[in-house]
Amino acid sequence: MKSVLFINGCVRPESRTMYLAKHILEHIEGKIEEVNLEKLMLSPMNLEMLRQREALLEKQNYEAPDFQYAKQFAAADIIVVAAPYWDLSFPAALKTYLERILIVGITFKYSPEGIPLSLCNAKKLLYVTTSGGFIRNYNLGFEYVKALAEAFFFIPDIQCFCAEGLDIIGADTKAILLKTTAEIDEYIKTAKINKFA
């Protein structure tokens, strides 16, 4: 059975991003594990935390609780990230989480030439976001996650599903969300997401 990691960066109970994420999760076969960033409330890395992590890595103590999220990320077959569009990117909690999973020896390693090599299983990363206005060329949150997924995790299939213009006066919010769910359905069908090994 495939392992699906759901990274939930939604904050509002009525989140439209969560609506789309749930649609994806309902159509993916596999065991779903959720990381709820709102409930987790991870602290940004400070000097003491960095030194502690460095000491653990020097001893190659990968079983330490500090590395649980990195190990969970590395083990997943499919990653689903739900993050509303805030300030050209995403909520700060997601950046804090990403700092916790980018760990040498767990999610990636370096070649003798200093090139990152992936230690992750994931073959697909699906990023879901919604915005009140039109993102156009400024979907920087997705671009950042995509860059990490390509450069460090070597995930070959990276997709973004975005419902935008939701808060524009006169916008048909329901129709916009339905259009995006249709795009999700088409992707799941054509990518045969429930068929790959």
Report pLDDT digits (tens) over 167-186. Answer: 999 999 999 999 999 999 99
Q: What is the pLDDT of residue 192?
A: 73
Does 195 score more than 80 pLDDT? no
197, part of any domain: no
Per residue in 41-61, pLDDT tens? 999 999 999 999 999 999 989
Domain span at residue 142 reads 3-190
Question: Residue 130 falls within a domain, yes or no?
Answer: yes
Least confident of 4-8, 98-102, 123-127, 193-197: 193-197
Is the model's pLDDT at 90 over the cut of 80?
yes
Using the predicted structure, report yes or no on whether residue 194 has a pLDDT greater than 60: yes
Q: How far is residue 50 CA from its own chain's centroid?
A: 23
Confidence of residue 197 (pLDDT cuts 50, 70, 90): very low
Q: How far apart are CA 2 and CA 23, in angstroms?
A: 18
Any domain includes 196: no
| Residue 195, in any domain of the structure | no
Supply the pLDDT for residue 193: 72
Domain with 158 in it: what CATH number? Answer: 3.40.50.360
pLDDT in tens, 8-37: 999 988 899 999 999 999 999 889 999 999
Mean pLDDT throughout 98-117?
95
**Which CA distances in Å does 191 have to 3, 41, 54, 147, 177?**
17, 34, 40, 21, 21
Whether 23 is in a domain gets the answer yes
Question: 31 lies in a domain?
Answer: yes
Phi, psi of 115 (to 5 degrees): -95, 130
Reduced to 3 states (helix: H, G, I; strand: E, B; else coil), residue 181 is helix
**Number of domains making up the chain:** 1
CA-based R_g, the chain, Å:
17
Nearest alpha carbon to residue 152 among 104, 81, 112: 104
Cα diameter, the chain: 59
Q: Please report whether residue 69 resides in a domain.
A: yes
Confidence of residue 140 (pLDDT cuts 50, 70, 90): very high
Tokens of 177: 């969300």
Q: How far, in Å, CA of 43 to CA of 93, rounded?
A: 8
12, 73, 169 from 18: Cα distances, Å:
9, 20, 22
pTM of the model as a whole: 0.93
- Kindly state whether residue 107 falls inside one of the protein's structural domains: yes
Mean pLDDT, the chain, rounded, equals 93
pLDDT value for 196? 46
User: What is the average pLDDT across 103-107?
Assistant: 94
26: tokens are 């309902």
